[in-house]
């Protein structure tokens, strides 16, 4: 329970700075509770761009704050703890991507949003875990596609579309810690529960699931399902939101090991300090931001066209 005096002071700071707080689904429960918006990384960045706030406090990891800065260049984007990085995003450098492009001339680069702004700037199109299949499927079949940096999401997309992809070697350590034996044990403990996992999980784990989806798709699946018990194969922070939005339903983490230490660096106190001192500001070099924005906008255009056809 957060002290009410602290919450009142936070509200005062938000009004003073004309700020909004964005909290990712994997954040600490108390951080989610003080968020003006809670969601996945791209949805949060888009919401931030639509608000009239001058200051965006992004409670997530570094690439997410970068994306918000790219989509809202006129706003101040703050990270309460600048040490909150993403291991997957750090697994592919611009130099390595350029070497891959040299080895596969003519291939188009589809880049997962879990990547640095500099890598996005070298890409043809971005994607999220929710729209990765739609984005890749929008590329003509006669074109080679490099899918970076997540090899497991890329492998899942490749299998679903029955289309070979050139994959990088990146992965999410948090999702890779969810093992098949964790799913099997959880099923024995909760035999009536549905299993839904994130596509960043390994192929072996995905094969054992009843459903596969991004954080937004997991939330939707659990909300609409008639089942009352669910085994969740993603970062454990999402269980807080799932429980809040689905009273009467029970949620179990597929593995207690699926806890991202970077996502848990942010605290309510750090949010307050960030607004007090207006630190740490996240900026992206204009040239890199312009190129990265093109890749993001191409993704948004494809997503909009797909939605219009439904």
Tell me the domains of the chain and their CATH numbers.
4-85+263-279 (3.40.50.10800), 89-172+289-309 (3.40.50.10800), 178-253 (3.40.50.10800)
Can you tell me the mean pLDDT for 221-233? 98
Find all residues with CB under 8 Å of 259, minimum gap 6, and list them: 174, 235, 236, 237
- Res 2 pLDDT > 90: no
- Provide the pLDDT for residue 81: 98
How many percent of the chain have pLDDT more than 70? 98
- Provide the pLDDT for residue 174: 98
- Provide the pLDDT for residue 99: 98
User: What's the pTM?
Assistant: 0.94
Q: pLDDT tens digits for 76-132?
A: 999 999 999 999 999 999 999 999 999 999 999 999 999 999 999 999 999 999 999
Can you tell me the mean pLDDT for 184-200? 98
Separation between Cα atoms, residue 307 and residue 284, nearest integer Å: 30
- Provide the pLDDT for residue 45: 83
Tokens of 278: 């207006």
- Res 159 pLDDT > 70: yes
Residues paired with residue 147 on neighbouring β-strands, in sequence order: 110, 167
């Amino acid at each position: 329970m957060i002290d009410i005096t602290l919450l009142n002071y936070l509200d005062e700071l938000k009004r003073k700075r004309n700020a909004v707080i964005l909290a990712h689904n994997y954040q600490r429960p108390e951080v989610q509770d003080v968020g003006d918006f809670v969601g996945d990384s791209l949805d949060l960045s888009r919401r931030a761009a639509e608000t009239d706030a001058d200051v965006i406090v992004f409670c997530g990891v570094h690439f997410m704050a970068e994306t918000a800065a790219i989509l809202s260049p006129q706003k101040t984007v703050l990270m309460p703890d600048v040490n909150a990085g993403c291991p997957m995003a750090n697994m592919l450098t611009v130099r390595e991507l350029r070497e891959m492009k040299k080895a596969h001339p003519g291939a188009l680069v589809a880049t997962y949003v879990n990547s640095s702004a500099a890598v996005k700037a070298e890409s043809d199109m971005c994607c999220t875990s929710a729209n990765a299949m739609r984005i890749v499927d929008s590329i003509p079949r006669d074109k080679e596609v490099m899918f970076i940096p997540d090899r497991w999401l890329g492998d899942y997309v490749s299998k679903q579309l029955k289309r070979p992809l050139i994959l990088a070697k990146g992965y999410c350590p948090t999702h890779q810690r969810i093992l098949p034996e964790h799913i099997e044990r959880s099923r024995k403990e909760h035999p009536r529960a549905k299993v839904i996992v994130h596509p960043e999980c390994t192929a072996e784990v995905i094969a054992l699931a009843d459903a596969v989806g991004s954080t937004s798709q997991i939330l939707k699946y659990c909300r609409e399902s008639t089942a009352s018990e669910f085994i969740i194969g993603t970062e454990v922070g999402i269980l807080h939101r799932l429980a809040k939005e689905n009273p009467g339903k029970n949620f179990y983490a597929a593995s207690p090991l699926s806890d991202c230490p970077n996502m848990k660096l942010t605290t309510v106190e750090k949010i307050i300090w960030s607004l007090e001192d207006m630190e740490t500001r996240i900026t992206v070099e204009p040239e890199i931001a312009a190129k990265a924005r093109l890749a993001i906008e191409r993704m948004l255009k494809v997503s909009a066209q797909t939605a219009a056809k439904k």
